[in-house]
Structure 1
Amino acid sequence: MPDFRPTLVRVLWLRWITLSLHLGAAVLAIWGFGLVLPWPGLLLNAVALAVYGLATLVRLRLAPRFPVPAAEVGRQLAVDLVGHAVWLYFLGGATNPLTAWFLLPLAIAAASLPSRQVWLLTGLTVVAYSLLLTFYLPLPIPDAALAQAFYLHTLGMWLAFVGAALILAGLVARIGRQLREREAELAGAREAALRDQQLFGIALQAAGAAHRLGTPLATLTLLVDELRHEHAAQPTLKADLDLMAEQLAACRGELARLRADGDVPVPRPADQAVRELLDDWRLVRLQVQAELSLPPGAAPAVAWGFALRQALLNLLDNAADASPDWQGLQLDWAADRIVLAVEDAGPGFDGRVVERQGLGVGVALAVSAIERAGGRVAWLARPGGGTRVEVELPSREAR
C-alpha cells in the first residue's frame, strides 16, 4: 500500500498556514478597520482545527512505521475545507475574497490522491461554496467604511491570490516532485526485477551446465593422468600434459565452488583473499601480466562467496581482454569498507559506462553480484590511458 505520510505532513503545514491567515485577517479587520467580529465562533473553529492537527501530528510521531492511506489524507483535507467554510460563514460567506482558498486543498488532492478522493473533495467544496451564497453572517462594516468596501474586497482578493500562488509553488510543486521520485523508484524496481529474472535464468543454465560438465571433466582427468604416466619419459609432452592437468584441476575447483555456493564462506584477510583470487585467475589466463599492489598494515577480514568471486574474476577477464600486456590490481581499505581497483592500459572509454564497453551479460552479472553483496562499481578513466574499475565492498559482510 502506498504511504502518503509526506503528503499528510504537507496538509498539516497548509492547515497551520490557513489558521495563521485566519488570525492575521481577523487582527487586520479589528485593528486596521475597526470591525466587530463574532469572536466566539471564530475562536471555536480555530481551536477545533488546531486540536485536530496536533492530534494528527502526535499520532504520526507515535506510529512512524505505519503507512498513511490516501483516505486519511482525504479526510484531513475535508476537515480543512469544512473549517474554512465555517470561518467564511462568520465573515461574509461567498462575498469574502478568501473563498479562493478553497482551491488549495483541491490542488493538493489532485496532485497526490486517487480520483475517487479528488471528486469527493470537489463535491464537498462545491456544496460548501453554494451554501455560503445563502447562509452566512454579513461582515459588520460600519457606515463610515462603506466607501472603502470595494477597496477592501480588492485587497483581500490580492492577498488570497498571492498566498495561494506561493503555497501552490511550494507545497504542490514539492508533492509533484515526490510523485516523480516515487515513479522513478518504481521504474527502478521493475527494471531490477526484470534483471533479476534474466539473471535467474542464466544462473539456472549455469547450474545445469555445471552438473553436466562434472562427468566429462572427471573422464578427461583420468585420461590425462594415464597419458602422463605413459609418457613420463618425454619431457616436452609431459609438460603439456601437466599443464592440462592443472587446467582440469582449476575447472573442477570452480565447479566445486559453484556447487557449494550455499555454504557460508570462511572469513580471511582481504590481502590473502586477493592473492588467492589472482592465483586462481592465473591458472586460467596463463599469459596475464597482472601487477598486484597492497597497502601496508593488517587487512580487514572478508568472506567472498562464489558469486562475488566470479564477479571479480569477470572484471579481471575484461581487463585482460582490453589490455593483454598489462593489468593492475590495487587493494585499499578504510574502516569497514575495502576498495578493489582493476586497471588496464587498453583504449579506455568516453565516460559512459557499460553500454559502449560492449561487455554485455558478463558485466551485468558481475555488477548484480557486487550490488547484492552490498557493494558498488564505478568505471573511471585511468590516468595515462585505459580503464579503472573500482569495486567498493563491505569487509566481513561481503559474501
Structure 2
Amino acid sequence: MPRTEISFLRLLCSLRWLAIGGQAATILVASAILGLDLPLHPLWGGVAVLAAFNLYVLVRLRHDDPDAQPHATAFAHLLVDIAVLAWMVGWSGGITNPFGMLFLVLIALAALALPRRWALATALAGLVGYAAAAAFGQPLVVEGNAYELLLWGIAANFVISMAVIVYFSTRLASDLRRRERELAALRERFARNEGIVALATHAAAMAHELNTPLATMTLLIDEIEAQADTDALRADAATMAELLALCRERIRNLAVPAEVDLEQVVGQWRLVRPAIELRRTGSLPASLRVDPSVAHLLQALLNNAADAGEQAGVPRVDLFLEYRDGTLGGEVRDYGRGFDPNQTLLPATLFRSGKPGGLGVGLALSHATVERLGGEMTMTGAEGGGVRIRFRLPLEHIEYWP
C-alpha cells in the first residue's frame, strides 16, 4: 500500500482513539454528573465495537498487504466510523443530539484525503447514517433546562470539530510537503541519471574510436624504447608504455566490465598522479574484488581531492579504506580551501563544477554510484581546512548500469 494511504489510515486510527476516549468521557459525564437517563448498555457496546475495530486496524497496519486497494480500505474504515457514530447518536437523542454534526467531520476527512468518487460515497454514507439516527433515534428525557444542555452540546461539538479538522489538515499538509520534496528529489535524480546514461553512451563511442590510435601509440613507444640510447629516455618510454597499457585496460573495461582489485586501482592512481603525496591507512583483504564502478568512484574522489590540494598549494591526499562484515568503508580527505558557500554539495548535479576548468561529472558520478549500490556518502569540513568525504558500500548486492 502506498505510503500516503498508510499515513491516512494511521491518522484515522489516532483520531479514532480520541473519539473512543471522548465518547467514554461523554457517557460518564452525562450519566454520572449530569444525571441523564442514558441507555448505557448500547452506548458502551458501541464504544467497545469501535475500540475492537481500532485494535484490528493496528494489527493490519503492521502487516500491510501491498496488493490491497488503499482507497477502498480507507472508505471501509470511514463506513465503520459512520455506522458507530449513527448508533451512538441514535441511542442518545437522535436528531436532537448536537454531536450528530460530527458526520460532517468524517465527510471533510474523506474530501481532503480521498478521490472524488470515494469522497462522494462517504458523503452519501454520512447522509444515510444521519438520516437513520434521526429516524430511529431514541429521545432523551432531560430534567431541567434542556435548551441550556443543547447549547453546551453545540459548543462542545464545535470545539471537537475544530480540533479534529485543524489536526488532520496540518498533518495532511505536512505529508503533502514531504511528498513534494521527495518528488523534487526524484526528478533531480532522474535528470542526473539520464545525463549519466547519455555520458556513458558517448564514452562507449569514444572508447571505440580511441582503441586504434592507442594501439598505434603502443607500437611507436615500443620502437622508441628499443631505439633509446640513454637510461632516462628508456625510463620515460617505459612509463609512457605503462600509461598507455592503463588506458587500453580502462577502455576494455568499458566494453566488458570485470571485477577489479582496489589495491591495484590505488597503485594505478599513484602512477597517473605522481606529484600528489598519498597517505594511506586501513587495509583490505588480498582476495577482495569489487565492481568497476567502485574503482571509478575511488578514482574520482582521489582526483577531486588532488585537484583541491594542488589549487591550495598542498598536493596531499589522505585515504582510508577498510572492508568489514560485507561493507567497504572509506574516507578521502583533501587539503584544499574547503567548502564553497555557493556550491551545491550532495546530492551533486551533473555538469556543474566548483573547480576552474572542471567538467562537473566526478562528484555527481560518485554520488550516483554510491546511491545505486545502496550505500551512503557524506561530506564534512576537515580541521585545518579541506574536506572529508566518507562512504560506506555494501558489496553483496552489485548491479551494473543498464
Q: What is the TM-score when the length of structure 2 is the normalising length?
A: 0.82
Match of residue 326 from structure 1: 315
Contact (CA 8 Å) 2:90, 2:134: kept in 1 or not?
Answer: no
Q: Please report the RMSD computed on the Cα atoms of aligned residues, expressed in angstroms.
A: 3.1
1:141 Cα shift? 1.1
Aligned residue among 199, 215, 218 for 1:218? 215
What is the correspondence of 1:356-395 to structure 2 with a 5 Å cutoff? 357-358=354-355, 360-394=360-394
What is the correspondence of 1:1-399 to structure 2 with a 5 Å cutoff? 2-3=2-3, 4-39=5-40, 41-43=42-44, 45-61=46-62, 63=64, 65-67=66-68, 69-129=70-130, 136-142=137-143, 145=144, 147=145, 149-229=146-226, 231-261=227-257, 263=258, 265=259, 273=262, 275-286=263-274, 288-295=275-282, 302-324=288-310, 325-331=314-320, 333=322, 335-336=324-325, 337-351=327-341, 352-353=344-345, 354=348, 357-358=354-355, 360-394=360-394
1:113-132 CA distance string (max 9 Å, x none):
22221222223334544565
d(CA) in 2 for partners of 1:382 and 1:31?
68
**Closer, same or farther: CA 320–170 of 1 in aligned 2, 3 Å:** same
Extract unaligned runs of 5+ from structure 2: none
d(CA) in 2 for partners of 1:320 and 1:43?
74
1:88 Cα shift? 1.5
Structure 2 SS opposite 1:349:
coil
d(CA) in 2 for partners of 1:378 and 1:204?
29
1:43 Cα shift? 4.8
Contact (CA 8 Å) 1:5, 1:68: kept in 2 or not?
Answer: no
**Closer, same or farther: CA 380–37 of 1 in aligned 2, 3 Å:** closer
Higher alpha-carbon deviation: 220-229 or 377-386: 377-386
Letter aligned with residue 339 of structure 2: F
1:63 Cα shift? 5.0
Contact (CA 8 Å) 2:309, 2:317: kept in 1 or not?
Answer: no
Structure 2 SS opposite 1:328:
strand
**Closer, same or farther: CA 187–128 of 1 in aligned 2, 3 Å:** same
1:317 Cα shift? 1.6
Letter aligned with residue 265 of structure 2: L
d(CA) in 1 for partners of 2:284 and 2:369?
26
1:101 Cα shift? 2.0
1:133 Cα shift? 5.6
1:309 Cα shift? 0.9
Q: How many residues align?
A: 384
d(CA) in 2 for partners of 1:205 and 1:78?
58
**Closer, same or farther: CA 335–316 of 1 in aligned 2, 3 Å:** closer
**Closer, same or farther: CA 298–347 of 1 in aligned 2, 3 Å:** closer
d(CA) in 2 for partners of 1:243 and 1:334?
31
1:263-302 CA distance string (max 9 Å, x none):
4x26x6xxxx3x422321132224x22222314x776975
**Closer, same or farther: CA 156–303 of 1 in aligned 2, 3 Å:** farther
d(CA) in 2 for partners of 1:65 and 1:364?
34
Structure 2 SS opposite 1:357:
coil
Contact (CA 8 Å) 1:320, 1:326: kept in 2 or not?
Answer: yes
**Closer, same or farther: CA 64–396 of 1 in aligned 2, 3 Å:** closer
Structure 1 SS opposite 2:120:
helix
d(CA) in 1 for partners of 2:189 and 2:213?
36
Contact (CA 8 Å) 2:339, 2:387: kept in 1 or not?
Answer: yes
**Closer, same or farther: CA 9–34 of 1 in aligned 2, 3 Å:** same
Structure 1 SS opposite 2:220:
helix
**Closer, same or farther: CA 248–185 of 1 in aligned 2, 3 Å:** same
1:10 Cα shift? 2.7
Extract unaligned runs of 5+ from structure 1: none
Structure 2 SS opposite 1:291:
strand
d(CA) in 2 for partners of 1:161 and 1:300?
72
Query: Identity rate of aligned residues, in percent?
Result: 32
1:223 Cα shift? 1.9
1:40 Cα shift? 5.2
